[in-house]
Amino acid sequence: MEISIFYFSGTGNTWWVSKKLKSIFNQKGHHAEIYSIEKNKTNLENDFLKIVDKSDLVGIGYPVYGSSVPKIMKDWVNEYLCNYTKSNQKKKSAFVFDTMALFSGDTPLKMRKLLEKCNFKVKQAINIRMLSNLPQMPRIMTWEVDKQQEVFEKAEAKCNKLVNKILEEKKWVMRRDPFSRLLGWIQRVGLRLEGKKIKEWYEIDEERCTLCKKCVNYCPVDNLSIEGNNGDVQVVFGDDCIYCMRCFNFCPENAIIIMERTRDTDRYRRFRGQIPDFKLSKIRKTKEQNNK
């Protein structure tokens, strides 16, 4: 069986799960590939029809942000997967997985519903607990190596279970209970109401910032830019932030601040280096790299 897994990963958790699923499928005698919806975007767009057309099964993976599917993932599914099925009139099989720190609400159901509207058959839609990437909330962070390893082991076990359910063609849809639906709705409403305020929490510590452009180059929605002239140059935030936490966690100088307290980088250390073998270059190519 040919399996294509398309994923968005903000800071590495969903990349890790996608990579693990690929490995398990391949070990069981199938052929799986993973594709970041960001990386080498031009080539992916050109090859997309061929990739999906040859696939017997499509996987969709993403992190959960406030019991919501990231906008970048929803837009991509609508633009590519939905247009594919409309133009080809083919009903493909798909599965959904999201990664979360504590709770995902009914987020798997939201993506399942979207895919079914796009004429996909979805028997599996689950969440997988991974590491939190929110250092500004230190109580939910997992820094101890043994506890991180425990999270990875449980996530791998869930990946194995998911693959087995898929190969056995058995249904596994999580978060259908009323409590998950209600809490998911509450979190989504809260995010919409507080979204503008959350954006105001972000700022640049100009004394730390070296204008290296890493945040600009690796923002998944191109929400950061460098503006100014005559020596007054700075990084500026736009209005399209999706709260992926990538710029905050991967700034090499810890110059991006979310709430004043995170200037204390000893107490609010950044989430980078916790996902084995992960690098931003594995999920996104910069404009300079794409032009080479």
DSSP state of 61: E
Give burial (CB, 10 Å; 0-12/13-18/19+) of 91.
exposed
Residue 3 phi/psi, 5° resolution?
-120, 130
**Tens-digit pLDDT profile for the chain (292 aa)?**
999 999 999 999 999 999 999 999 999 999 999 999 996 555 566 678 789 889 999 999 999 987 789 999 999 999 888 888 777 777 899 999 999 987 677 888 899 999 999 999 999 999 999 999 988 888 889 999 999 999 999 999 999 999 999 999 999 997 666 766 677 666 666 666 666 666 778 899 999 999 999 999 999 999 999 998 877 889 999 988 998 999 999 999 999 999 889 999 999 999 999 999 999 999 997 655 554 4
- The rounded distance, in Å, linking the Cα atoms of 121 and 117 is 9
pTM over 0.85: yes
Q: The tokens of 37 are what?
A: 């919806």
The dihedral formed by the CA atoms of 140, 145, 146 and 151, expressed in degrees to the nearest 10: 50
β-bridge mates for residue 3, sequence order: 32, 57
- Residues sharing a CB contact under 8 Å with residue 183, sequence separation 6 or more, in sequence order: 67, 103, 105
> Which domains are delineated in the chain?
2-187 (3.40.50.360), 199-291 (3.30.70)
The dihedral formed by the CA atoms of 115, 119, 120 and 125, expressed in degrees to the nearest 10: 40
**Contact between 61 and 4 (Cβ < 8 Å):** no
β-bridge mates for residue 258, sequence order: 202
- Residues sharing a CB contact under 8 Å with residue 113, sequence separation 6 or more, in sequence order: none
- The rounded distance, in Å, linking the Cα atoms of 239 and 78 is 21
**Contact between 247 and 256 (Cβ < 8 Å):** yes
- The amino acid present at 178, given as its one-letter code, is P
DSSP state of 43: H
Residue 9, number of CB atoms within 10 A of its CB: 29
